[in-house]
Every structure is written in structure tokens, then in C-alpha cells.
Chains A and B, each alone.
Chain A
């Protein structure tokens, strides 16, 4: 009998809770700005400070954003939902309760399709997404006292809860990336994990393969990057498997991931000891979404990345890899689509964006919206390649010039004399003199060392400063060498 490895014996079961901070101008229940950075406690008012007698008034944009996500996830959007109070004491929670949604959230059951490492697709169920207000921030590292900044108090959050359909750290990271991508395309969250505008907690358990019941789960918090989500989940899966293999039990608890140490350690409290005493918030009548409003939002939905990938591969004939890279960020796809309107050479365009444009944008950390080469000029550069005016190699030089020169690429090519030399007579003269100057190499070639051909091409390019048409050079070289053998 073959002994299974522990990792083959067990199946991890993972569900993610994602908090997306919504990009509204004002807070969810008052008119304070959500802008940051701002001096501590400057974006506050009696409502988000929890003064006696204040009442919440729901922000329409926050609801609209939630509806958009619901549509994007093919979710059931509940046209009637209920706000509830989640009661607990903490210094950064001004009212002693958080306004959230409990029994009836605005977004119900939906799903998110992710791509696994081997390229296959998998659907992850999304249980719900609900609106809630964020708490403030406690700052503990200033001497003896804890400081509280309530700028964040009342900033709208959308909590998105997945089914326990995820089976590995990599799947979790893929789910999170895909979800973030959708949030960015919907323009409802800036998706910055480091700054906390996108936060992720994971519920993790393991069970023997074939088992249908769930094992005891733990919750892992404080994973503030995709890499850390993957690492932390894999760490916790391994820890639980080790425990079970040693005949010990997994204890239900909340763990904090420490990215520096690469370990997760238990928080002081037991999450399950909390009793939040949820009840419907009497200050907020049930949220009703009219059919008209819902349909209007639906009709204004942007094209989402999955659909774009489909279109880029089918209509533009791009390889799936290219389509994936070009749709990663909304601004990349916007840039690509605008440029694609000016040239039919989509693959060459894609190449240039992937190798040059994105490289420069990443290096300089600039947005493509303000990239020095506008999509139309880039398209013209692509056309210069496909029409044979310049080679792909020269195109890179022209590209570099265009970064700091607003001229059209044709002008630059003309001004700098970069046009390709396709003239056979001119090239033949150059090649003949090179062959004459290098009799030893010619002999080697004739003796059967065909690799030496590259040497001659290099010499031609050196003399022409790279402007020689490579195809012409190749065919001329072959015929001239043949001639010298005869």
C-alpha cells in the first residue's frame, strides 16, 4: 500500500471575507469627506463622532456601488435590505455599535470565476456582500496612551463573503486578484491592500479527502498583500495538517499573520466569545431599491475584464496571455483599446505595450492615463513597423525618443535618419566588403559552420547602425556566401 503524503491526504477548505473601502466622496451616514491623507480627527462631525441625538442618513453612492458589484458577480441584488446594529465596545467605535447589515444584505448569492495556475477556470461562490461603516483607527504606539483617529469612522465598506470553495493559498490569491480587478473596473474601490482600502480575512480548515463535513476552522487576519494572503494561508494549512498528523486538535481561534516572521500567531481574544447582539437599526428604515434605479445602473455597467479577454482573443486574435496582461488594469485596457482604434496590427501593438509601455510606466510609477506617448502616436509607431519603414529593433529607439519628444514617429524617423535600408544594391556593397574583410570567417562558414552567419549579420547591423532590413540582409548574405564558395 502506498503511503499518501499528508498534503495529499487532506483537503484544505478556505473562505475569504474581503472588506472593500468604497470610493465615495463622503462617508456612508454623514457628509464628512472620505479624503486622505488628512490631519487626525479633521474629517469628523457630530454624526460620525456619535454625539447624543445624531442620526444616520444613507449615502446613495455607497448603495449604487454595492449594486454594481452585485451585478458584476451575477448576484441576486436584494431590492429590499435591512441595516442592523452590531454592538461592541471599542474606543475607535464612537456609537458603541457599528451599522452593518445582517439578516438581509443588499447583495445576495453570486459567483466569481477565477483562473487557476494551469489555466483552467473555477467558479467560487459568493455568499453575500453587505454595506457597513468603518470604525476609526486606534494608535497604540505613542507612549502610555492609545490615540484614536476618527477620520475613517463612517467610511463606507462593502464586506464580500465567499463560500468555502477555495482549496489553496494560490486559489485564494487568484480569487482576491480577480475580485480586486472587478472593483477597479467598476471604479468603486482603489484596491490598495497596503493602505488598507482592500482587506482580507481567511477562514481556514482542513479535512481528509472525501470527507464532507468541515473541520474546525481558524481565522487568519492581517494579510496586507496578495503574496501574504497566499503565504499565510499555506502556512496555516500546513500547521493544521501537522496538528492532525500528530493526533492533536485544531483549536478554533483568530490568528494574526506576521509578514516579517512568516508565521501566524493567535490573538488574545476568542472571536467566538463575541456576542454582537445584532438587531435592526431603528434609525434606518429598510433600504428599498427601485426597479428603475437598478435597471439604470445595470445599463451603465462597464465592460468587465472577463468579457474583455474574450473579445481581445476572439475579435483581435490576441493570445490569451496578451489578453490577460492587457486587461489586468482598467487603464491598460483603456490605453490598448484607444490605440487599437488607430491600427489594425493588434498583436504588434500588444507586443509594444507589454514590452515597452508597461515597463516604462512601472519603472516611473506613472499612470497610463498620463503616459507621455498617447495611444494614437503609439499606433502610428506600430504602423511604421508593419509597413517595413523601421524594424522592431529601431522601433524601440524611436519609442525611447518619443517619451521626451512630442513629434510624430514618422518625423522622428525622418529627422534621425532611422529608415530601414532595404535597398539591395546598397546592402550588397556593404556585405561584399565585410566578406572581403573577414576571409577566415568566410572559410569557417564554407567549412560547414553555419552558426557564423550571425557574426556577419551583426557586422552588417553595426555598419548600418541597425537600420538594415534583417530579411534582406539574410537573403543577400546567403546568396553572396554561396557565390564565394562557387
Chain B
């Protein structure tokens, strides 16, 4: 309320209201907001007070949003149920006996329950879209690099994207527009010009009014990390790639003003409608396809042949990055440090390192064993394994190749199609107590969402009605790089079409 009064008085002082004036926004607790603890839903960071705002938070605040608080999630954004939180599970507001999805479960639930206008989530393999689908709200995962990651606690750096969840397409579009754009603090953030996303028009009337002139951005197509000057380290950053690899996947610049055909070409990849997909979800998404055909668009079946390798590649690459990203939680500088009582066995001590003293090894072992959750530890171990000597090529190297193949699949399809339509999840949200215990089975639930992150593409989860059990149904649209406007326009069209 205090912040609201500050906003109001600034208005009286003659200041023009920001685009998010008074919008109530809550933030997934993996993003840094000064004055609010940053826990990442982990015991490790319980009570940790961040000393800087994430870039997106500064952007939201400068457009007069009200940041009302932090939202629960899976620990370090690892999970698909929001049950991997050190501070308890989140209930699905639609059906409290069920999970809300994850990892941005708190974000989806808060929006569905009307606790805020917009929630900020993060999506590494479906963490915005899947809970949005489970809770019946909109959620958009932007193109990798569209939104700065500075201040987002890293899970898998070449996959992580910040995006909004909301009850309307317009709210998603407006907030995404505010938080988009180049950030000198994030060397992987996109340096080119981005088309405005707000207001979003339903696709049938969409005029693609923006124009893009590549001459204004000579560095655009470069696959470059232009270093910044010594004196002013925060200037003049350039474009980037989603993966720092010897042959990076190149992010293309946004399409130039194109032929505004009212006929959209939409692809239905057959690999997303096969075995394992709940029949009710399948027919709901197919029905959306027919509605689009009725509205005059073209829908055709296509193939994304490398989809079957996506889950494996995703878990190899994300766990490798995560293992490294989470090494900083060691009890040395901040966060929890466990007691050292000198009880570490000689054997365990040696296993850690021969050059560290017993007490140091014990500090690491106790701190990380006691304060990181089971799923996080599982992924750290997996990640360290795939990077370890002798296994690198077989796992990490191969997964990078698969990543390029998957990206190529999409590139091929997008030569002929504007959008791809798929389900978001193969199943409805599980009931608490009925979740699969085999982690592999849980990981397979990400089957329709991870390819998007591997390819760095934007995708939106759109609510499309209710199931026979009154559970939310959702469809996913996957778009070309930086063509979030197309995704949001289609979502908006469906919003009115389904009313």
C-alpha cells in the first residue's frame, strides 16, 4: 500500500503514469528483488537478502508496477510439480488435490487464484507453460535472449528464459513488452531491435505494423560477444547466441516486414500427438486445429523427427550447466553453512579432495548435503557425471549435436509454416500422492516443452477450455525467433473465438 501511495503521489507531482501503473505483479522466487528474500525455494538460501534488483525488476518498477511479493516454486526451478520446495508444496487453485505444475507453480497458482494481475515465471524446459496449462492461465516463454537473465538465479544458463503468466493475452503481452530488450549486464541478451508487443491485435486483424530495418543494426547478424570497454564495462554489448559452443545455434534477427497474408500456415508435428498423450487432451488440441481451419487458416501435419531425442539431450545439457551453476552454494560467502564437527570419515574426506583440509571438505559436504533438496542433488550428480573426464564427448558433446539437429528440424518447418501447434503436457496435473516416483517418468512429462528451450524458440501456453473432470485444457503454440507477436495474436484470436 505504501508503494501504491508513492505511485499516486508521483502522479500528482505531474509525472506521466508508466505503462504498468498500479499493476500488481508477483515474482517467482528465483529472481532478485531488493528488500525481499531470495530463497529459490531452497533451505540453502533461506533468509538470503539480495543486494541488487534483477534487470526485469528495474524495468517493471520504472513502468510503475507494484511488486507485491515472491512466489513459491520448485527448488532452484528444478521440477514439474512444485513439490520440490523447501517451504512446502503449492496447491492447484482449480483442484486443490492436484499439483499446480512446476517449476513456476506458485506463479501459475497466484494468477489462477487472482492474487495478482501478472506473475513472473522462468522457463528452462517448460516451467512457465506447463504450470500455466495445469492452472488454466496464459504463460509465455519468450525467445531465448529476448529478456535479460541478469538477476535470475541460473538453473541452465543457455535455456533459462523469464516470462509472464496472466489471465489475459493483453496482460502477458504488455508485461513481456516491458521486460524485453537488450541488457548490457547480460552478454547473451539480444542486441537488435524488437517489434512492440502491445497492444496485441487478434490475428485475424493483425497488420504486423512494425517495420524492421537491418541497416540500423549493423551488428545484428553477428554471432558475437563484443567485449565492452575497460572504463565503462556496461556499454556497447552486442548480439549473441543461445549456446556458447564451437558451432553455436544462431539466433536469427526478427523477420523483416513480411507479406501480411491473413492465412496462417500452422504445422501439427505428428511426434507430439503419438503414444502417451491423454486422448482428451489430444482431441482438445485437434479441435483447436479445426477451429483454425474454420477461421480460414491452413493446418497441416508435419514431422519433427528428432523430437524423440529431446528429453535425453535436455537432461544432459541442463544438468551439466546446473551442476556448475549451483557450485557457488558452498557455505563460504552467503547462505547456509552447516556445522563442522570433525566426524567426516577419512574415506569420504579423501573422496572430496586431497588438497583440502578435513574441516573444509566437511564444510562442503555437510552444507550441500543438508541444505540442497533431493531433486537438486540428483541433477548436480547427473550433470557432473556427463561432464567428467572420458564421458564428455559421449554425453555432453552428443547432446549438443542433438540440440543442433532439433533446432534444424524447427528451422526447416518454419520455412513453410508460421506456427506450430502442440499440446503442452501429455497428461492432466497429478493428484498429490499419485505422482510417479520414478524420476524418469516425471522427466517424460516435459516431452512437449523441452524442444522449445533446446531450440531457443518462443512458445505460449493457451487455455482452451475444461476437461470432463473440470481440469484446464491447454494448447501450445511455438513460433519463430522473436515472433512473440504472432504467438500472442493467435492466442488473442483464440481468446475471442473460444468465448
Query: Which A residue's beta carbon lies closest to that of B222?
Result: A288
User: B253: CB under 8 A from chain A?
Assistant: no
- CB-based contact A95/B328 at 8 Å: yes
Q: Which of B158, B224, B241, B326 has the most CB of A within 10 A?
A: B224
Assembly CA distance A55 to B240 (angstroms) = 14
User: A346: CB under 8 A from chain B?
Assistant: no
Q: Which of B154, B225, B355, B387 has the most CB of A within 10 A?
A: B225
- CB-based contact B353/A269 at 8 Å: yes
User: B157: CB under 8 A from chain A?
Assistant: yes
User: B432: CB under 8 A from chain A?
Assistant: no
Q: Which of A25, A62, A87 has the most CB of B within 10 A?
A: A87
Shortest beta-carbon distance, A34 to chain B, in Å?
A: 10
User: B230: CB under 8 A from chain A?
Assistant: yes
Contact residue among A61, A89, A283, A285 (Cβ-Cβ distance under 8 Å from B223)? A285
User: A270: which B residues are within 8 A, CB to CB?
Assistant: 354
Shortest beta-carbon distance, B55 to chain A, in Å?
A: 10
- Taken residue by residue from 402 to 413, chain B's Cβ proximity to chain A (1 for < 8 Å, 0 otherwise) reads as 000000000000
Count: A-B pairs, CB below 8 Å: 180
Q: Which of A56, A62, A286 has the most CB of B within 10 A?
A: A286
- Taken residue by residue from 376 to 396, chain B's Cβ proximity to chain A (1 for < 8 Å, 0 otherwise) reads as 000000001001110010001
- CB-based contact B330/A96 at 8 Å: yes
User: B243: which A residues are within 8 A, CB to CB?
Assistant: 280, 282
Query: Which A residue's beta carbon lies closest to that of B361?
Result: A89
Assembly CA distance A283 to B353 (angstroms) = 27
Q: A25-B230, A58-B227 are in contact. Are A53 and B154 (CB under 8 A)?
A: yes
Query: From residue 28 to 77 of chain B, which have CB atoms closer than 8 A to chain A?
Result: 31-32, 38, 40, 45, 48, 50-52, 54
Assembly CA distance A96 to B356 (angstroms) = 14
User: A57: CB under 8 A from chain B?
Assistant: yes
- Count, chain B residues at interface, CB 8 A: 70
- CB-based contact B320/A89 at 8 Å: no
- CB-based contact B230/A53 at 8 Å: no
User: A103: CB under 8 A from chain B?
Assistant: yes
User: B275: CB under 8 A from chain A?
Assistant: no
Assembly CA distance A9 to B227 (angstroms) = 51
A: interface residue count bin? 35 or more
- CB-based contact A284/B230 at 8 Å: no
User: B127: CB under 8 A from chain A?
Assistant: no
- CB-based contact B150/A55 at 8 Å: yes
User: B244: which A residues are within 8 A, CB to CB?
Assistant: 82-83, 280-286
Assembly CA distance A405 to B450 (angstroms) = 79
Assembly CA distance A17 to B156 (angstroms) = 33
- CB-based contact B241/A286 at 8 Å: yes
- CB-based contact B225/A46 at 8 Å: no
Shortest beta-carbon distance, B384 to chain A, in Å?
A: 6
User: B228: CB under 8 A from chain A?
Assistant: yes
Assembly CA distance A273 to B352 (angstroms) = 11
Query: From residue 203 to 230 of chain B, which have CB atoms closer than 8 A to chain A?
Result: 222-230
Question: Which secondary structure dominates chain B's binding surface?
Answer: loop
- CB-based contact B327/A58 at 8 Å: no
Assembly CA distance A96 to B383 (angstroms) = 14
Assembly CA distance A148 to B363 (angstroms) = 15
Assembly CA distance A26 to B234 (angstroms) = 12
- Taken residue by residue from 396 to 424, chain B's Cβ proximity to chain A (1 for < 8 Å, 0 otherwise) reads as 10000000000000000000000000000
Assembly CA distance A50 to B327 (angstroms) = 10
User: A85: CB under 8 A from chain B?
Assistant: yes
- CB-based contact A285/B328 at 8 Å: no
- CB-based contact B233/A30 at 8 Å: yes
Q: A50-B333, A285-B187 are in contact. Are A59 and B246 (CB under 8 A)?
A: no
Interface positions of B (Cβ within 8 A of A): 31-32, 38, 40, 45, 48, 50-52, 54, 149-154, 156-158, 184-188, 222-234, 237, 239-241, 243-246, 248, 320-321, 323-324, 326-328, 330, 332-334, 352-356, 360, 364, 384, 387-389, 392, 396
Interface positions of A (Cβ within 8 A of B): 24-26, 30-31, 46, 49-63, 82-83, 85, 87, 89-91, 94-97, 103-104, 146, 148, 267-270, 273, 275, 277-288
A and B contact pairs by CB, cutoff 8 A, 20 listed: A31-B233, A46-B51, A51-B50, A51-B52, A53-B50, A53-B149, A55-B150, A55-B185, A83-B244, A85-B324, A87-B384, A87-B387, A89-B356, A275-B389, A277-B387, A277-B392, A278-B387, A280-B245, A284-B244, A285-B224
